[in-house]
Each structure stands twice: as structure tokens, then as C-alpha cells.
Structure 1
Amino acid sequence: MLEKLKLLGYLVAIEHTIFSGMFILIALVVAGLQAHLGFVEGVQTLFLCALALLFARNFAMGFNRLADRKFDIKNERTKNRPSVDGRISLTTLRVFCVANALGFVGVSYAINALAFKLSLPFLAILAGYSYMKRFSYLAHLVLGVCLGLAPIAGVVAVLGTIPLWSLWLALGVAFWVAGFDLLYSLQDMEFDKQEGLYSVPAIFGAQTTLWVSRACHILAVLFWALFAKSAHLGGVAWLGVGVCLMILIYEQWLVLKDFRNIPKAFFVTNGYLGVVFLGFIVVDRGLAWI
């Protein structure tokens, strides 16, 4: 059982929860101070949101591996995944998806009424992404929307509403994710062409993909600036937006220099971005609270 859990954790790349996890924390910090949450209530909300994020992401990744299994078998980059080589059975993967979906709905119910009402639509969006590349090159943006739901979920958990600033934050996440997913998909450009999949690299080529990715990252920074303005954040938060811009420029430079840098740009640079941005927001809100 322990070995199966390890394999499932590897399959869904559980450590990459940090990408969306940092932004749900940003939403919790800003919303928590606006709502004047007490310590105990804040810890309880944080715990429930962390559980919801874990269940939602596990469901999304597990479902994606189920839906894409026939492609993963053929792809040289993915043919050794546990869901393909037999280490994880289809039955186990299906049970894993159902269990995490039920867990997400249950935790959403425990958070508040709005979170519960949104839980099934959220799951539908997460599942729908897995089929987008079969008929639309907007799949990259849909993936961005999936991760952009994280800060929305965080603010719903605290405020029970969706303020404008949280939409700007979520849109920033959506275009940030779409931008780095475009870069990551360059690795499968030829495979996607062979299989008739609608990724941007397969349809429009590598150079166009690079330009679209840059445009997405510019939009991400602009939306995060709107988030800082709409949430009435201070100078430290604005400095954080500027640092995020520098990180994204570095990411784009890495890939432009050599496509072999894509894994480094994807896994390392993007992991730092969320942590760094959260740090600036925490300091900014801490100074405002003092």
C-alpha cells in the first residue's frame, strides 16, 4: 500500500502543488486580513483549503493520466509513467480519482455554502482540460484557468464572495500557467503533430509559440499589477510584481537560449516565482497590519 501511494504521488507530481499552492496562500493572506480572521479560524481555514487543493489537484492529474493514457503509451517522454507501464492499474487510478473528487466536495461542504456550490463546476473544469487538446489549441489557457481557480477558492473560503482583486489575481495565474505550459509543450511538438493534437507548437510552430508565451507572461504581470491596485496593497507588493516580471524574463531567456533548458525553466523557475511572490505579499500585509 505504501509503495502504491508513493507511485501515485510520483504520477501526479505532488510536489508541484507548490505552483498553485502559493497563490491560494496569497489569496488567504489578503482576504484573511480584510476579514480580520482570528488565529484559530485562520489556521482552520488554511487547513481546509490545503486539503481542498490537494484533493482537487490529485483528481485533475489522475484524471488527466487516465484520459491521456493512449497517448502516454506512444510518447517517448511519457511511456515510463506508472499509469502506462503497469505499476499502477487502471482500477487503482480510477478509485484514486473518485476518492479525491469526493474528498474535494466533502471539504468544500465543510468550508461554506458557496464553496460547496462551486465544487462540482470546479471539478468539471479540471476534468474538461484533459480533452481540450483533442480539438482546440486553447488547451494551454484552459490549464491556466484550472490553476487560476486556486486563489478564487481561497478567497471564497474566507469571504464567501469573489471580490474583484481575486479575479485579477486568478487571471494572472491563468496567463502565467498558460505561458509556461506553452514552453513545456515545445517538447512534444513533433509528437502532437503525428497524433493530430491541437497544441500551439503543433499548429503554429516553435517561434510563434515563444511569442505567444511571452504575451501570456506580460498579461500575467499586468493582471498581478491590477490585483495589487485593486486590493490596495503597498509598495512591497508592487516590488513583488516587479520581481515576478524579472523571473519570467529569465524563464523566457532560458528557453530561448536552448530548448534543453525547458525542464529547468518549468520546474525550478516557476516554483521560485510563487514562493517569492507570497513572501512579498506576506511582508507587505504584515507591514500594513502593524
Structure 2
Amino acid sequence: MFAKLGVFLTMVKFEHTVFALPFAYVAALLADGKVPNAWNLFWITLAMVGGRTTAMGLNRIIDRFIDAQNPRTWNRALPQGLIKVWEAWFFTLIVAAVFELAAYMLSTLAFIISPAILLIFVFYSYTKRFTWLSHFVLGLAIGLAPLSAWIALTNEVTIGAVLLSVAVALWVAGFDIIYACDDVEFDRAIGLHSIPAYFGIETALTISAVIHLAASICFTITGMVLNLGLIYWIGLVVAAYMLYKQHQIISPINLSKINVAFFYLNGTLSMVMFIATALEIGTR
């Protein structure tokens, strides 16, 4: 069972929690203008890890037949039989239960909205079958991380929390469009929908750049609304440069650095924003 758990964690790319978790911490820091106590920090971390792992587990289970046909994903655990479907469901339901428990322990409103978040995770896995707006649904799913953390600590929704979540949602949608460029021919061949498959790679990269510009604007307005200081703005400039950089290293005729943009630059971006926010709050 421990061996299967290892396969499951590899299957859901557990390490990619780095995309959403730092922004949950950013929201937690900004919600009260201080570092949350250890109790709340523990449950926020557990909720984020549980929610993100649940989302990926559901995606891998729902998409297993598509993954088996895709040259990029045919060697994933479920298509290769490294883990059985019922085993994947077993671990996914366990982490979903952890997510629900964490939401319950944090606040009443967080627990009330938690089932809706799980439904969004399920819905996302089906969207590519009927709409190229799937990138934005993924953005919504991950963009809920900071809003959920904010709600968990304050039991309310504020304009600052919404702006931060919109910024994260746009950031995710933008880099997911870039990542989808790798699957254009496959998506078209079997009738899956994505912005690159529908509009072409060149237009898709332009759309992604516009979305990332909008994300930068939302991060800027968030800082203004919450009256954040110099350290936050320095972090935002660095993050904006990383968004710019990934559009510089990728072109319609050279997609070889997609993984660099997707994993390295975006993973670093979330950490930069977290560190800048933590330093900003810590020096007040």
C-alpha cells in the first residue's frame, strides 16, 4: 500500500502543489496583516494540499482513457496499470476527506463552500471535451486557493481577496494555454478543445500574453487596495518579469522551452510573491 501511495503521489505530481500553496499563504498573511497562528497555518496547509491532490487525482482518473492515447501522457500510472482505478479512487477520496476536515476545522463558511470547490474540480476535468474555455476553469479552480484561505481566517469575502484570486486565476489560465500548445495536433485529432487547438498556436500565445498582462494589473490593483508597501512592489516587478520572460523564450516555431516556462518560471513566481508578501508583512 505504501508503494501504491508513492505511485499515486507521483501520478498527481505532488510537487506541483508549489503553484497554489504559496498564494494561499499570501492570502493568509494579508487577511489579518500578520502571520497566522500555528493552528490555522497547519489547517490551511492541509486544506491546500488535500484540495490540490484531490483535483489532480480526479483529473487523472477521469482522463485516463485520453491519457492512454496521447503520446505525451501514455506512460502515466493509470494507463500503464501501475495503479488500479479503485486504488486511485481510494487515495483520492482519502485526500478529499482531509480537505473537508481541514475546511471544517478552519471556519463555518470555509466548510460550507468546500463541496462546491470539489464540484469545480470534477467539472474542470470534463471541460476540455466541450469548450476551449477549459483553461479559465482551471484558473478558477486554482484561483480559489487564496480566496479560500482568506475566508478560512476571516469568515468573509473582501475586495482584496477577490482581486488576488482573480489575479491568480488569470496567471494560471495564461500558462495553461502555453502548456496546451504541446498537445495541439493530438487535441485536434480526437476532438478535444483548447485555445491553441481552436485558434492556432500563434494566436494562442498572444491571448496568453494578454491574459498575463491582465493578471499583472490585478496583482497591482490588489497591492493598491490593500495598501501594500515597497517590498511587495519589488516582488511584483520580479514576478511580472517572469511572466514576460516566458513569452520571450517561447514562440510558435520553438516550443522546446515550454517545460521551463511552465514549471520553473511559474513555480518560482509563486514563491517570489509569497516571500515578498511575507517580508512586507513581517517588516510592518
- TM-score, length-scaled by structure 2: 0.97
Q: How many residues align?
A: 283
Residue 239 (1) aligns with residue 197 (2): no
CA distance in 2, matches of 1:280, 1:113: 30
Residue 73 (1) aligns with residue 68 (2): yes
Output aligned runs, 1:1-290, within 5 Å. Answer: 1-33=1-33, 42-256=37-251, 258-288=254-284
Amino acid at match of 2:276: F
The ranges of structure 1 where at least 4 consecutive aligned residues each deviate by more than 4 angstroms after the TM superposition are none
The answer (yes or no) to whether the contact 1:144–1:175 under 8 Å persists in 2 is: yes
Bigger helix fraction: 1
- More displaced 10-residue stretch of structure 1: 58-67 or 278-287: 278-287
- Structure 1 residue 204 displacement after superposition: 0.8
The answer (yes or no) to whether the contact 1:182–1:200 under 8 Å persists in 2 is: yes
The answer (yes or no) to whether the contact 1:156–1:162 under 8 Å persists in 2 is: yes
> Cα deviation per residue 1:198-250 (whole Å; 9 max; x = unaligned)?
11111110011101100110011000011101111112212222111101011
CA distance in 1, matches of 2:197, 2:272: 33
Structure 1 alignment gaps of length 5 or more: none
The answer (yes or no) to whether the contact 2:5–2:91 under 8 Å persists in 1 is: no
CA distance in 2, matches of 1:282, 1:66: 37
> Cα deviation per residue 1:107-135 (whole Å; 9 max; x = unaligned)?
11111100110100111111110000111
- More displaced 10-residue stretch of structure 1: 230-239 or 176-185: 230-239
Structure 2 alignment gaps of length 5 or more: none
> Cα deviation per residue 1:63-104 (whole Å; 9 max; x = unaligned)?
101111111010011000011100010010111222222221
- TM-score, length-scaled by structure 1: 0.95
The answer (yes or no) to whether the contact 1:32–1:42 under 8 Å persists in 2 is: no
CA distance in 1, matches of 2:107, 2:169: 25
CA distance in 2, matches of 1:265, 1:106: 34
- Structure 1 residue 287 displacement after superposition: 2.1
> Cα deviation per residue 1:137-195 (whole Å; 9 max; x = unaligned)?
00001101111011011111111111110111101100100110000000000000001
CA distance in 2, matches of 1:13, 1:102: 19
- Structure 1 residue 10 displacement after superposition: 0.6
SS at match of 1:260: coil
SS at match of 1:17: helix
CA distance in 1, matches of 2:38, 2:249: 38
CA distance in 2, matches of 1:86, 1:74: 14
Amino acid at match of 1:169: L
CA distance in 2, matches of 1:15, 1:66: 19
Identity within the alignment, %:
35
CA distance in 2, matches of 1:94, 1:282: 37
Amino acid at match of 1:245: A
CA distance in 2, matches of 1:15, 1:238: 27
The answer (yes or no) to whether the contact 2:146–2:164 under 8 Å persists in 1 is: yes
